[in-house]
Amino acid sequence: MLYIFITSIALLIYTYLGYPIIVFLLSKVVKHKINKDDLFCPKVSVIIVVYNGEKYLEKKINNILTCNYPAENIELLIISDGSTDDTNNILHEYSYRIKSKIFKERRGKAACLNDAVNYSTNEYIVFADVRQKFDEDTIINLISPLANETVGAVSGELVFIDDDHNSFSKGIDAYWRYEKFIRNSEAKIHSVIGVTGAVYSIKKSLYKPIPKGVILDDVLIPMQVVLSGYRVLFEATAIAYDVPSNDSVNEKRRKIRTLAGNYQLVSINPSLLNPIKNKLFIQFISHKMLRLLAPFFMLSLFISNIYLFNEGWFYKLTLLSQIFMYTVSILTHYGFREKLGSNILLRMTNTFVILNWYSFLALIEYIKGKKTHLW
């Protein structure tokens, strides 16, 4: 049991603390700087796939068309994926300013992305979602690094702007900042593992059609760029503004769907686990795969700790710490959520347990084979 205990705790520490520290330190030593060309303003196709987006669509259209980028060089292409609200009518109203394609049947984002890229007429593509607002310089900041021949895609940054959120959304916001810290370090070394789906760019010639049922298009697409020998950067000045979700039910559904996508990703493209083909093998395992296994590390740690409880004060402390952590999360689930609002440690503890619980549920979701690619 001692070996199980040591292995479990070591893997958890490496996954959530060790790896981020290692890539941060490496980013200070191994730097591949890219000279951005701010005068590089080629024609670009901005692609948005939307399902029932009437609430945000008009604002998004005007947001894209008023960005600090030559208007004559922007082709705005919007795909409606079986929308049943007023989305299609809004697209018809703006037909004089944008290009659109309306599908009556809901097929999923991946299938629509493949069609959208085929319909686009430019080599440089920006992918966006309907809800988030672009900063005025976002498009130029996504496109300028692509002037470099070694760069195939560029991820932007999602910034949360609402200060009126509950303890759950604050926890998610903190997790997202933690994730961006890792991505920024990875990009300085070579490439990020996945991009921000709501704001990123790619060279059309490097886009490879993805399977229609793909959940994590924003991981598979950039990883295919990496496997083709190009870099995927993270650009912190390419900002999309969003409001963190206060709806724990919808956030749970979204997160489980995303985590299930990681299992699907490996089954679709096994070469991601091939260190010969995947230059980012260590990063991929550390950043993605170990997080999927973390709930099982936590379980083995807890069970082995019970067996070792009487072996010394250290094991008593670690077991009591785990019991405290899980108790906090259970109490939060049963109505004590807002009590965590002012306590950063308790809030982060709760978020850590919840996200790992979602990871376990994601495996069940993937095994069941539900149509999680439909949004």
Question: Do residues 10 and 37 both lie within one domain?
Answer: no
Task: Count the Cβ atoms, other than its own, within 10 Å of residue 38.
Answer: 11
- d(C-alpha 280, C-alpha 227), whole Å: 9
**Are residues 104 and 247 located together in one domain of the fold?**
yes
Q: What local confidence, expressed as pLDDT, does residue 190 receive?
A: 87
Q: What is the pTM of this model?
A: 0.85
Per 3-state DSSP, what percentage of the chain is helix, strand, and coil (rounded to 5)? 55, 15, 30
Residue by residue, DSSP assigns 8-42 as: HHHHHHIIIIIHHHHHHHHHHHS-------TT---
CA distance 150 to 307: 53
Tell me the chain's radius of gyration from C-alpha atoms. Answer: 22
Does residue 190 fall inside a structural domain?
A: yes
Q: Examine the domain organization and report whether 9 and 58 are in the same domain.
A: no
Asked if residue 155 is part of any domain, the answer here is yes
Residues 14 and 41 in one domain: no
What is the dihedral sign for C-alpha 174, 179, 184, 186? positive
From 226, 261, 296, the end of a domain falls on 261
- Angstrom CA distances, 34 to 43, 140, 148, 320, stand at 21, 15, 7, 48
Cβ-proximal residues to 329 (8 Å cutoff; 6+ apart), any chain: 349, 350, 353, 354, 357
Q: How far apart are CA 35 and CA 145, in angstroms?
A: 7
CA separation for the pair 122, 119 (Å, rounded): 9
Q: What is the CATH number of the domain that holds 147?
A: 3.90.550.10
Contact indicator for 287, 182 with CB cutoff of 8 Å: yes
> Is residue 35 domain-resident?
yes
Q: What domain range is 350 assigned to?
A: 2-18+281-368
Torsion of CA 42, 43, 49, 53, to 10 degrees: 100
167 found inside a domain:
yes
pLDDT of residue 136: 95
Q: Are residues 214 and 358 in the same domain?
A: no
Which amino acid would we find at residue 356?
A: N
pLDDT for position 163 = 55
What are the b/e assignments for 340-351, b being 16+ CB within 10 Å?
Answer: beeeeebbbbbb
Is 95 a domain residue? yes
* Ordered per-residue pLDDT tens for the chain, 375 residues: 899 999 999 999 999 999 999 999 998 887 667 777 677 899 999 999 999 999 999 999 999 999 999 999 999 999 999 999 999 999 999 988 999 999 999 989 999 999 999 999 999 999 999 999 999 999 999 999 999 999 999 999 988 876 555 555 555 667 778 888 898 899 888 899 889 999 999 999 999 999 988 989 999 999 999 999 999 999 999 999 987 666 667 777 778 888 888 888 888 888 889 998 898 999 999 999 999 999 999 999 999 999 999 898 999 999 999 998 898 888 776 666 555 555 667 777 888 898 899 999 888 888 887 555 555
If asked whether residues 95 and 46 sit together in one domain, one would say yes
The tally of domains found in the chain comes to 2
Residues present in the chain in total? 375
Q: Which of 261, 296, 317 is the last residue of a domain?
A: 261
Same domain (yes/no): 289, 248: no
- Cβ-based neighbours of 46, under 8 Å, separated by 6 or more: 64, 74, 75, 76, 77, 125, 126, 128, 139
82 plus 226 within the same structural domain:
yes
Contact by Cβ (8 Å): 134, 201: no
Residues 6+ positions from 110 with CB-CB distance below 8 Å: 210, 211, 212, 213, 214, 215, 217, 373
Residue 274 placed within a domain: no
Mark whether 78 and 128 lie in a shared domain: yes
Contact 36, 154 (CB under 8 A): no
Examine residue 23 and state whether it is found in any structural domain, yes or no.
no
Please give the Cα distance from 290 to 304 (Å, whole number). 19
In this structure, are residues 27 and 185 in contact, taking their beta carbons and an 8 Å threshold? yes
pLDDT (0 to 100) of residue 144: 94
Same structural domain, 11 and 44: no
Note the pLDDT of residue 246.
Answer: 61
In a domain, 156, yes or no: yes
Statement to judge: residues 172 and 305 lie in one domain = no
Residues 222 and 336 in one domain: no
Contact 325, 353 (CB under 8 A): yes
Under 8 Å between Cβ of 106 and 51: yes
